[in-house]
Copies of this chain bind each other. A is one copy, B any other.
Amino acid sequence: MTTMTAYQDLMAFQRETEALAEIAGRLGWDQETMMPRCSADQRAEETAAISHVLHQRRIDPRVEDWLGQIEDDALEPEAQAQMRLIRRDFNRTRKIPPKLATEIARVTSRAQGQWAEARANEDVAAFLPVLEQVVQLRQEEGHALAEGGDAYDALLNDYEPEAKAAEIDAMFAAMRPRLVALRTAALDRPAPAPVKGDFPADVQLALARDVAVAFGYDLDCGRIDLAVHPFSSGSGRDVRITTRTNADDPFNCIYSTIHEVGHASYEQGIDPAYLLTPLGEGVSIGVHESQSRIYENQLGRSRAFTGWLFERMTERFGDLGLDGPDAFYAAANRLHNGYIRTEADEVQYNLHVMLRFDLERALISGDLKVTDLEAAWNDRFAADFGFAVDKPSNGCLQDVHWSVGLFGYFPTYSLGNVYAGCLYEALRKAVPDLDDHLARGHLTPATAWLREHVQRHGGRYTPRDLIAQASGAQPGPEPLLSYLEEKFGALYGF
Protein backbone atom coordinates (compact mmCIF):
# COMPACT_ATOMS: atom_id res chain seq x y z
CA MET A 1 0.00 0.00 0.00
CA THR A 2 2.76 2.44 0.97
CA THR A 3 4.71 1.31 -2.07
CA MET A 4 1.78 1.89 -4.39
CA THR A 5 0.88 5.32 -2.99
CA ALA A 6 4.49 6.46 -3.06
CA TYR A 7 4.92 5.05 -6.57
CA GLN A 8 1.85 6.91 -7.84
CA ASP A 9 2.97 10.17 -6.23
CA LEU A 10 6.47 9.77 -7.60
CA MET A 11 5.21 9.01 -11.09
CA ALA A 12 2.83 12.00 -11.06
CA PHE A 13 5.77 14.19 -10.07
CA GLN A 14 7.94 12.53 -12.70
CA ARG A 15 5.31 13.00 -15.38
CA GLU A 16 5.28 16.72 -14.73
CA THR A 17 9.07 16.78 -14.84
CA GLU A 18 9.04 14.98 -18.20
CA ALA A 19 6.50 17.48 -19.52
CA LEU A 20 8.77 20.35 -18.44
CA ALA A 21 11.73 18.61 -20.08
CA GLU A 22 9.71 18.42 -23.30
CA ILE A 23 9.12 22.17 -23.05
CA ALA A 24 12.85 22.75 -22.56
CA GLY A 25 13.48 20.62 -25.63
CA ARG A 26 10.94 22.56 -27.67
CA LEU A 27 12.66 25.77 -26.59
CA GLY A 28 15.91 24.36 -28.00
CA TRP A 29 14.14 23.50 -31.25
CA ASP A 30 12.75 27.03 -31.44
CA GLN A 31 16.20 28.47 -30.89
CA GLU A 32 17.60 26.59 -33.90
CA THR A 33 14.66 27.15 -36.24
CA MET A 34 12.38 30.07 -35.37
CA MET A 35 14.00 32.37 -32.83
CA PRO A 36 14.57 35.95 -34.02
CA ARG A 37 18.18 36.91 -34.61
CA CYS A 38 18.54 39.25 -31.63
CA SER A 39 16.75 37.19 -28.99
CA ALA A 40 19.74 35.10 -27.92
CA ASP A 41 20.52 36.84 -24.61
CA GLN A 42 16.92 36.79 -23.47
CA ARG A 43 16.63 33.17 -24.55
CA ALA A 44 19.71 32.27 -22.51
CA GLU A 45 17.92 33.52 -19.40
CA GLU A 46 14.78 31.62 -20.29
CA THR A 47 16.75 28.44 -20.87
CA ALA A 48 18.60 28.90 -17.59
CA ALA A 49 15.28 29.37 -15.78
CA ILE A 50 13.73 26.14 -17.00
CA SER A 51 17.01 24.25 -16.49
CA HIS A 52 17.00 25.49 -12.92
CA VAL A 53 13.42 24.30 -12.42
CA LEU A 54 14.36 20.88 -13.80
CA HIS A 55 17.42 20.72 -11.57
CA GLN A 56 15.39 21.66 -8.49
CA ARG A 57 13.01 18.83 -9.28
CA ARG A 58 15.87 16.35 -9.57
CA ILE A 59 17.06 17.24 -6.06
CA ASP A 60 13.58 17.67 -4.59
CA PRO A 61 13.65 16.03 -1.13
CA ARG A 62 10.27 14.42 -1.78
CA VAL A 63 11.91 12.22 -4.42
CA GLU A 64 14.20 10.68 -1.83
CA ASP A 65 11.23 10.14 0.50
CA TRP A 66 9.23 8.39 -2.19
CA LEU A 67 12.19 6.28 -3.25
CA GLY A 68 12.67 5.22 0.37
CA GLN A 69 9.06 4.08 0.60
CA ILE A 70 8.92 2.07 -2.60
CA GLU A 71 9.83 -1.62 -2.54
CA ASP A 72 10.57 -2.27 -6.20
CA ASP A 73 9.95 -6.02 -5.85
CA ALA A 74 6.31 -5.34 -5.05
CA LEU A 75 5.78 -3.63 -8.42
CA GLU A 76 4.80 -4.94 -11.84
CA PRO A 77 7.73 -5.43 -14.25
CA GLU A 78 7.07 -2.23 -16.20
CA ALA A 79 6.87 -0.21 -13.01
CA GLN A 80 10.12 -1.85 -11.90
CA ALA A 81 11.68 -0.69 -15.16
CA GLN A 82 10.46 2.86 -14.45
CA MET A 83 12.00 2.65 -10.99
CA ARG A 84 15.31 1.43 -12.40
CA LEU A 85 15.61 4.58 -14.52
CA ILE A 86 14.40 6.92 -11.78
CA ARG A 87 16.82 5.48 -9.23
CA ARG A 88 19.66 5.66 -11.74
CA ASP A 89 19.08 9.36 -12.33
CA PHE A 90 18.58 10.05 -8.66
CA ASN A 91 21.81 8.30 -7.71
CA ARG A 92 23.68 10.16 -10.40
CA THR A 93 22.47 13.51 -9.11
CA ARG A 94 23.18 12.52 -5.51
CA LYS A 95 26.81 11.65 -6.26
CA ILE A 96 27.76 14.97 -7.85
CA PRO A 97 28.56 17.80 -5.43
CA PRO A 98 26.43 20.83 -6.42
CA LYS A 99 29.58 22.96 -6.62
CA LEU A 100 31.08 20.61 -9.20
CA ALA A 101 27.88 20.62 -11.28
CA THR A 102 27.81 24.42 -11.26
CA GLU A 103 31.48 24.61 -12.17
CA ILE A 104 31.04 22.21 -15.09
CA ALA A 105 28.13 24.26 -16.41
CA ARG A 106 30.14 27.46 -16.04
CA VAL A 107 33.34 26.23 -17.66
CA THR A 108 31.77 24.30 -20.54
CA SER A 109 29.59 27.26 -21.45
CA ARG A 110 32.75 29.38 -21.72
CA ALA A 111 34.77 26.61 -23.38
CA GLN A 112 32.36 26.29 -26.28
CA GLY A 113 32.90 29.90 -27.29
CA GLN A 114 36.67 29.56 -26.94
CA TRP A 115 36.63 26.39 -29.03
CA ALA A 116 34.67 28.13 -31.80
CA GLU A 117 37.14 31.01 -31.80
CA ALA A 118 40.19 28.72 -31.71
CA ARG A 119 38.80 26.69 -34.59
CA ALA A 120 38.14 29.82 -36.63
CA ASN A 121 41.72 30.97 -35.96
CA GLU A 122 43.32 27.51 -36.39
CA ASP A 123 44.83 28.10 -32.96
CA VAL A 124 44.99 24.91 -30.88
CA ALA A 125 47.05 26.54 -28.14
CA ALA A 126 44.32 29.07 -27.45
CA PHE A 127 41.88 26.26 -26.71
CA LEU A 128 44.13 24.11 -24.51
CA PRO A 129 43.84 25.97 -21.17
CA VAL A 130 40.06 25.75 -21.07
CA LEU A 131 40.12 22.22 -22.46
CA GLU A 132 42.40 21.22 -19.61
CA GLN A 133 39.86 22.64 -17.15
CA VAL A 134 37.04 20.73 -18.83
CA VAL A 135 39.05 17.49 -18.74
CA GLN A 136 39.88 17.97 -15.06
CA LEU A 137 36.26 18.67 -14.15
CA ARG A 138 34.99 15.67 -16.07
CA GLN A 139 37.72 13.48 -14.51
CA GLU A 140 36.50 14.65 -11.13
CA GLU A 141 32.90 13.99 -12.09
CA GLY A 142 33.76 10.57 -13.48
CA HIS A 143 35.48 9.60 -10.25
CA ALA A 144 32.57 10.88 -8.18
CA LEU A 145 30.14 8.86 -10.28
CA ALA A 146 32.31 5.74 -10.45
CA GLU A 147 32.84 5.50 -6.68
CA GLY A 148 36.07 3.57 -7.14
CA GLY A 149 35.22 2.12 -10.55
CA ASP A 150 36.37 3.33 -13.94
CA ALA A 151 35.83 7.09 -14.38
CA TYR A 152 35.50 6.90 -18.17
CA ASP A 153 32.90 4.14 -17.89
CA ALA A 154 30.90 6.35 -15.57
CA LEU A 155 30.89 9.15 -18.13
CA LEU A 156 30.12 6.76 -20.98
CA ASN A 157 27.15 5.40 -19.05
CA ASP A 158 25.43 8.79 -19.17
CA TYR A 159 24.92 8.10 -22.86
CA GLU A 160 25.09 4.31 -23.03
CA PRO A 161 23.95 2.76 -19.75
CA GLU A 162 25.85 -0.36 -18.67
CA ALA A 163 28.38 -0.15 -21.52
CA LYS A 164 32.02 -0.84 -20.61
CA ALA A 165 34.89 0.96 -22.32
CA ALA A 166 37.09 -2.14 -22.12
CA GLU A 167 34.53 -4.14 -24.12
CA ILE A 168 34.14 -1.37 -26.66
CA ASP A 169 37.91 -1.18 -26.86
CA ALA A 170 38.18 -4.88 -27.68
CA MET A 171 35.40 -4.58 -30.26
CA PHE A 172 36.99 -1.56 -31.91
CA ALA A 173 40.35 -3.33 -31.98
CA ALA A 174 38.76 -6.13 -34.00
CA MET A 175 37.02 -3.70 -36.35
CA ARG A 176 39.80 -1.23 -37.02
CA PRO A 177 42.16 -3.29 -39.21
CA ARG A 178 39.31 -4.59 -41.34
CA LEU A 179 37.92 -1.08 -41.87
CA VAL A 180 41.38 0.29 -42.70
CA ALA A 181 41.85 -2.54 -45.17
CA LEU A 182 38.44 -1.88 -46.69
CA ARG A 183 39.02 1.84 -47.15
CA THR A 184 42.47 1.22 -48.62
CA ALA A 185 41.17 -1.35 -51.08
CA ALA A 186 38.24 0.81 -52.17
CA LEU A 187 40.23 4.02 -52.51
CA ASP A 188 42.75 2.17 -54.66
CA ARG A 189 40.07 1.66 -57.29
CA PRO A 190 38.68 4.31 -59.64
CA ALA A 191 36.18 6.56 -57.86
CA PRO A 192 32.55 6.38 -59.01
CA ALA A 193 31.18 9.50 -60.67
CA PRO A 194 29.18 11.86 -58.42
CA VAL A 195 25.69 13.14 -59.25
CA LYS A 196 25.59 16.32 -61.27
CA GLY A 197 22.80 18.73 -62.04
CA ASP A 198 20.77 21.64 -60.80
CA PHE A 199 19.31 21.05 -57.33
CA PRO A 200 17.05 23.93 -56.22
CA ALA A 201 16.59 24.08 -52.45
CA ASP A 202 12.80 23.96 -52.57
CA VAL A 203 12.84 20.84 -54.75
CA GLN A 204 15.31 19.16 -52.40
CA LEU A 205 12.99 19.93 -49.47
CA ALA A 206 9.91 18.65 -51.28
CA LEU A 207 11.76 15.41 -52.07
CA ALA A 208 13.06 15.14 -48.50
CA ARG A 209 9.49 15.43 -47.28
CA ASP A 210 8.35 12.63 -49.59
CA VAL A 211 11.24 10.44 -48.50
CA ALA A 212 10.55 11.16 -44.81
CA VAL A 213 6.94 10.08 -45.21
CA ALA A 214 8.01 6.98 -47.18
CA PHE A 215 10.24 6.02 -44.23
CA GLY A 216 7.25 6.23 -41.89
CA TYR A 217 7.73 9.65 -40.33
CA ASP A 218 4.33 10.86 -39.10
CA LEU A 219 3.97 14.52 -40.07
CA ASP A 220 0.75 14.78 -38.06
CA CYS A 221 2.93 14.35 -34.96
CA GLY A 222 5.96 16.22 -36.24
CA ARG A 223 7.27 18.76 -38.72
CA ILE A 224 10.33 19.42 -40.88
CA ASP A 225 12.16 22.74 -40.82
CA LEU A 226 15.49 24.11 -41.94
CA ALA A 227 18.38 24.47 -39.50
CA VAL A 228 22.15 24.81 -39.71
CA HIS A 229 22.64 21.33 -38.21
CA PRO A 230 20.06 18.60 -38.80
CA PHE A 231 18.56 17.23 -35.58
CA SER A 232 15.53 15.48 -34.14
CA SER A 233 13.79 16.89 -31.08
CA GLY A 234 10.94 15.87 -28.79
CA SER A 235 9.19 12.65 -27.98
CA GLY A 236 5.74 11.10 -28.13
CA ARG A 237 3.32 12.95 -30.34
CA ASP A 238 5.46 16.01 -31.06
CA VAL A 239 8.76 14.94 -32.61
CA ARG A 240 10.27 17.49 -34.96
CA ILE A 241 13.19 17.17 -37.33
CA THR A 242 15.33 19.66 -39.18
CA THR A 243 17.32 19.35 -42.36
CA ARG A 244 19.47 21.51 -44.62
CA THR A 245 20.18 21.85 -48.32
CA ASN A 246 23.41 22.07 -50.27
CA ALA A 247 23.10 23.28 -53.85
CA ASP A 248 25.94 21.00 -55.04
CA ASP A 249 25.08 17.87 -53.12
CA PRO A 250 21.44 16.76 -52.93
CA PHE A 251 22.47 13.66 -50.96
CA ASN A 252 23.27 15.88 -47.99
CA CYS A 253 19.63 16.90 -47.60
CA ILE A 254 18.16 13.49 -48.42
CA TYR A 255 20.39 11.39 -46.18
CA SER A 256 20.40 13.94 -43.33
CA THR A 257 16.62 13.79 -43.46
CA ILE A 258 16.51 9.98 -43.49
CA HIS A 259 18.98 9.93 -40.58
CA GLU A 260 16.84 12.27 -38.49
CA VAL A 261 13.71 10.38 -39.50
CA GLY A 262 15.36 7.33 -37.91
CA HIS A 263 15.77 9.19 -34.62
CA ALA A 264 12.29 10.69 -34.86
CA SER A 265 10.57 7.41 -35.76
CA TYR A 266 12.10 5.83 -32.70
CA GLU A 267 10.57 8.52 -30.48
CA GLN A 268 7.26 8.45 -32.36
CA GLY A 269 7.19 4.66 -32.18
CA ILE A 270 7.48 4.23 -28.42
CA ASP A 271 4.48 2.65 -26.71
CA PRO A 272 2.04 5.56 -26.03
CA ALA A 273 1.50 4.13 -22.53
CA TYR A 274 5.05 5.32 -21.74
CA LEU A 275 4.38 8.93 -22.80
CA LEU A 276 5.94 11.44 -20.40
CA THR A 277 7.50 8.72 -18.24
CA PRO A 278 11.15 7.64 -17.95
CA LEU A 279 10.42 4.70 -20.27
CA GLY A 280 8.99 7.08 -22.88
CA GLU A 281 12.20 7.91 -24.69
CA GLY A 282 14.96 6.14 -26.56
CA VAL A 283 16.96 3.93 -24.21
CA SER A 284 20.46 5.13 -25.13
CA ILE A 285 22.36 7.24 -27.60
CA GLY A 286 23.78 4.07 -29.17
CA VAL A 287 20.36 2.53 -29.78
CA HIS A 288 19.11 5.89 -31.04
CA GLU A 289 21.98 6.00 -33.48
CA SER A 290 21.24 2.41 -34.56
CA GLN A 291 17.83 3.60 -35.75
CA SER A 292 19.12 6.66 -37.58
CA ARG A 293 21.94 4.63 -39.15
CA ILE A 294 19.91 1.65 -40.29
CA TYR A 295 17.41 4.04 -41.90
CA GLU A 296 20.15 6.10 -43.50
CA ASN A 297 22.65 3.42 -44.54
CA GLN A 298 21.50 -0.19 -44.55
CA LEU A 299 18.07 0.78 -45.91
CA GLY A 300 18.50 4.23 -47.45
CA ARG A 301 21.78 3.52 -49.24
CA SER A 302 20.83 -0.02 -50.35
CA ARG A 303 20.90 -0.88 -54.04
CA ALA A 304 17.19 -1.62 -53.89
CA PHE A 305 16.10 1.69 -52.32
CA THR A 306 18.52 3.83 -54.35
CA GLY A 307 16.87 2.38 -57.46
CA TRP A 308 13.59 3.94 -56.35
CA LEU A 309 15.34 7.13 -55.24
CA PHE A 310 17.10 7.42 -58.61
CA GLU A 311 13.73 7.55 -60.34
CA ARG A 312 12.34 10.12 -57.92
CA MET A 313 15.41 12.33 -58.23
CA THR A 314 15.38 12.09 -62.02
CA GLU A 315 11.71 13.09 -62.02
CA ARG A 316 12.40 16.10 -59.85
CA PHE A 317 15.85 17.26 -60.98
CA GLY A 318 16.09 15.93 -64.54
CA ASP A 319 19.27 14.25 -65.77
CA LEU A 320 21.76 13.47 -62.97
CA GLY A 321 24.69 12.91 -65.34
CA LEU A 322 24.79 9.21 -64.43
CA ASP A 323 24.42 6.07 -66.49
CA GLY A 324 21.43 4.46 -64.74
CA PRO A 325 20.58 3.20 -61.25
CA ASP A 326 23.79 1.18 -60.72
CA ALA A 327 25.88 4.29 -61.24
CA PHE A 328 23.50 6.18 -58.94
CA TYR A 329 23.93 3.49 -56.27
CA ALA A 330 27.71 3.86 -56.58
CA ALA A 331 27.42 7.65 -56.34
CA ALA A 332 25.30 7.40 -53.17
CA ASN A 333 27.94 5.12 -51.63
CA ARG A 334 31.05 6.84 -52.86
CA LEU A 335 34.09 6.45 -50.58
CA HIS A 336 36.26 9.53 -50.45
CA ASN A 337 39.23 10.85 -48.55
CA GLY A 338 38.32 13.50 -46.02
CA TYR A 339 39.22 14.99 -42.67
CA ILE A 340 35.77 15.57 -41.27
CA ARG A 341 33.85 12.94 -39.30
CA THR A 342 30.40 14.32 -40.09
CA GLU A 343 31.11 14.14 -43.82
CA ALA A 344 32.61 10.64 -43.70
CA ASP A 345 31.20 7.66 -45.57
CA GLU A 346 29.78 4.51 -44.05
CA VAL A 347 33.16 2.73 -43.91
CA GLN A 348 35.44 5.46 -42.66
CA TYR A 349 33.04 7.01 -40.17
CA ASN A 350 33.91 4.39 -37.58
CA LEU A 351 37.63 5.07 -37.95
CA HIS A 352 36.97 8.70 -37.04
CA VAL A 353 35.09 7.54 -33.96
CA MET A 354 37.78 5.08 -32.83
CA LEU A 355 40.43 7.77 -33.03
CA ARG A 356 38.37 10.01 -30.73
CA PHE A 357 37.48 7.18 -28.38
CA ASP A 358 41.13 6.26 -27.79
CA LEU A 359 42.21 9.87 -27.34
CA GLU A 360 39.41 10.84 -24.97
CA ARG A 361 39.92 7.75 -22.82
CA ALA A 362 43.59 8.67 -22.55
CA LEU A 363 42.67 12.25 -21.64
CA ILE A 364 40.31 11.12 -18.88
CA SER A 365 42.76 8.52 -17.52
CA GLY A 366 45.53 11.13 -17.55
CA ASP A 367 47.68 9.10 -19.95
CA LEU A 368 47.41 11.88 -22.51
CA LYS A 369 48.06 15.53 -21.71
CA VAL A 370 46.01 18.11 -23.58
CA THR A 371 49.30 19.60 -24.76
CA ASP A 372 50.01 16.34 -26.58
CA LEU A 373 46.53 16.01 -28.04
CA GLU A 374 47.18 17.58 -31.43
CA ALA A 375 50.25 15.45 -32.13
CA ALA A 376 48.47 12.30 -31.00
CA TRP A 377 45.49 13.13 -33.21
CA ASN A 378 47.63 13.82 -36.25
CA ASP A 379 49.73 10.63 -35.82
CA ARG A 380 46.68 8.46 -35.48
CA PHE A 381 44.92 10.13 -38.39
CA ALA A 382 47.87 9.56 -40.71
CA ALA A 383 48.08 5.92 -39.59
CA ASP A 384 44.41 5.13 -40.27
CA PHE A 385 43.62 7.43 -43.19
CA GLY A 386 46.96 7.45 -45.03
CA PHE A 387 47.42 11.21 -45.29
CA ALA A 388 48.27 14.11 -43.00
CA VAL A 389 45.96 16.57 -41.26
CA ASP A 390 46.50 19.95 -42.91
CA LYS A 391 45.07 22.27 -40.23
CA PRO A 392 43.51 22.04 -36.77
CA SER A 393 39.97 22.76 -37.98
CA ASN A 394 40.35 19.58 -40.04
CA GLY A 395 41.90 17.82 -37.07
CA CYS A 396 41.51 17.98 -33.32
CA LEU A 397 39.44 21.19 -33.37
CA GLN A 398 36.76 19.91 -35.72
CA ASP A 399 34.18 18.65 -33.19
CA VAL A 400 32.31 20.65 -30.56
CA HIS A 401 31.95 17.67 -28.20
CA TRP A 402 34.95 18.00 -25.91
CA SER A 403 34.46 21.73 -25.42
CA VAL A 404 31.00 21.12 -23.99
CA GLY A 405 32.28 18.27 -21.84
CA LEU A 406 30.94 15.38 -23.90
CA PHE A 407 33.48 12.72 -22.99
CA GLY A 408 32.11 9.20 -23.47
CA TYR A 409 29.72 10.25 -26.20
CA PHE A 410 31.77 9.50 -29.33
CA PRO A 411 31.84 5.67 -29.04
CA THR A 412 28.03 5.58 -29.07
CA TYR A 413 28.12 6.61 -32.74
CA SER A 414 29.94 3.41 -33.66
CA LEU A 415 27.98 1.35 -31.16
CA GLY A 416 24.95 2.56 -33.09
CA ASN A 417 26.49 1.31 -36.33
CA VAL A 418 27.28 -2.04 -34.72
CA TYR A 419 23.72 -2.35 -33.40
CA ALA A 420 22.38 -1.34 -36.82
CA GLY A 421 24.45 -4.16 -38.35
CA CYS A 422 22.94 -6.68 -35.93
CA LEU A 423 19.41 -5.45 -36.50
CA TYR A 424 19.78 -5.40 -40.26
CA GLU A 425 20.96 -9.01 -40.34
CA ALA A 426 17.90 -10.05 -38.31
CA LEU A 427 15.57 -7.87 -40.37
CA ARG A 428 16.72 -9.48 -43.64
CA LYS A 429 15.98 -12.93 -42.20
CA ALA A 430 12.57 -11.81 -40.91
CA VAL A 431 11.61 -10.11 -44.20
CA PRO A 432 13.14 -12.21 -46.99
CA ASP A 433 11.63 -10.07 -49.76
CA LEU A 434 12.86 -6.81 -48.19
CA ASP A 435 14.63 -5.70 -51.38
CA ASP A 436 11.46 -6.04 -53.43
CA HIS A 437 9.79 -3.64 -51.05
CA LEU A 438 12.71 -1.21 -50.91
CA ALA A 439 12.90 -1.15 -54.71
CA ARG A 440 9.33 0.21 -54.69
CA GLY A 441 10.09 2.81 -52.02
CA HIS A 442 8.03 0.68 -49.69
CA LEU A 443 9.64 0.93 -46.25
CA THR A 444 6.72 -0.34 -44.20
CA PRO A 445 7.94 -3.92 -43.63
CA ALA A 446 11.32 -2.65 -42.41
CA THR A 447 9.95 0.11 -40.18
CA ALA A 448 7.21 -2.16 -38.82
CA TRP A 449 9.84 -4.73 -37.81
CA LEU A 450 11.99 -2.06 -36.14
CA ARG A 451 8.98 -0.59 -34.39
CA GLU A 452 7.93 -4.00 -33.07
CA HIS A 453 11.38 -5.17 -31.97
CA VAL A 454 13.12 -1.96 -30.94
CA GLN A 455 11.22 1.29 -31.01
CA ARG A 456 8.04 0.54 -29.10
CA HIS A 457 10.00 -0.61 -26.04
CA GLY A 458 11.44 2.82 -25.23
CA GLY A 459 13.52 2.50 -22.07
CA ARG A 460 11.97 -0.83 -21.04
CA TYR A 461 15.12 -2.96 -21.49
CA THR A 462 18.84 -2.25 -21.26
CA PRO A 463 20.42 -1.42 -24.63
CA ARG A 464 22.27 -4.71 -24.84
CA ASP A 465 19.23 -6.81 -23.89
CA LEU A 466 17.07 -4.90 -26.34
CA ILE A 467 19.42 -5.51 -29.27
CA ALA A 468 19.97 -9.14 -28.22
CA GLN A 469 16.22 -9.79 -28.08
CA ALA A 470 15.62 -8.08 -31.39
CA SER A 471 18.47 -9.69 -33.29
CA GLY A 472 18.51 -13.08 -31.54
CA ALA A 473 22.17 -12.82 -30.56
CA GLN A 474 24.47 -10.82 -28.30
CA PRO A 475 25.48 -7.67 -30.19
CA GLY A 476 28.88 -7.78 -31.86
CA PRO A 477 30.64 -6.18 -34.83
CA GLU A 478 30.61 -9.14 -37.20
CA PRO A 479 27.28 -8.42 -38.94
CA LEU A 480 28.32 -4.81 -39.60
CA LEU A 481 31.76 -5.78 -40.88
CA SER A 482 30.41 -8.53 -43.13
CA TYR A 483 27.79 -6.19 -44.49
CA LEU A 484 30.34 -3.46 -45.23
CA GLU A 485 32.88 -5.86 -46.79
CA GLU A 486 30.25 -7.47 -48.96
CA LYS A 487 28.65 -4.21 -50.03
CA PHE A 488 31.81 -2.28 -50.80
CA GLY A 489 33.66 -5.30 -52.18
CA ALA A 490 30.88 -5.70 -54.74
CA LEU A 491 30.68 -1.97 -55.42
CA TYR A 492 34.41 -1.54 -55.93
CA GLY A 493 35.07 -4.98 -57.40
CA PHE A 494 37.43 -6.72 -55.03
Contacts and interface: CB of A to CB of B under 8 A. Distances in A.
A238 B26 contact: no
A59 interface: no
A42 B222 CA distance: 12
Q: Quick one: copies of this chain in the complex? A: 2
Given A19-B49, A49-B20, A49-B23, A38 B221 contact: yes
B219 A42 contact: no
A34 interface: yes
A236 interface: yes
Contact of A42 (B36, B38, B275): B275
A220 interface: yes
Nearest to A218: B38
Contacts of A52: 16
Binding site secondary structure of chain A: helix
A196 interface: no
A15 interface: yes
A48 interface: yes
Contacts of A26: 27, 30, 46
A56 to B, nearest CB: 10
Nearest to A37: B220
Interface of A: 15-16, 19-20, 22-23, 26-27, 30, 34-39, 41-43, 45-46, 48-50, 52-53, 218-223, 236-238, 240, 275-276
Q: Lowest 6 A-B CB distances belong to which pairs?
A: A19-B49, A39-B238, A38-B220, A16-B49, A19-B46, A42-B237
8 contacts: A20-B50, A20-B53, A23-B50, A30-B30, A38-B220, A42-B236, A42-B276, A53-B53
Given A39-B238, A45-B276, 10 more contacts: A19-B46, A20-B46, A23-B27, A23-B49, A34-B223, A36-B219, A36-B238, A37-B220, A37-B221, A42-B276
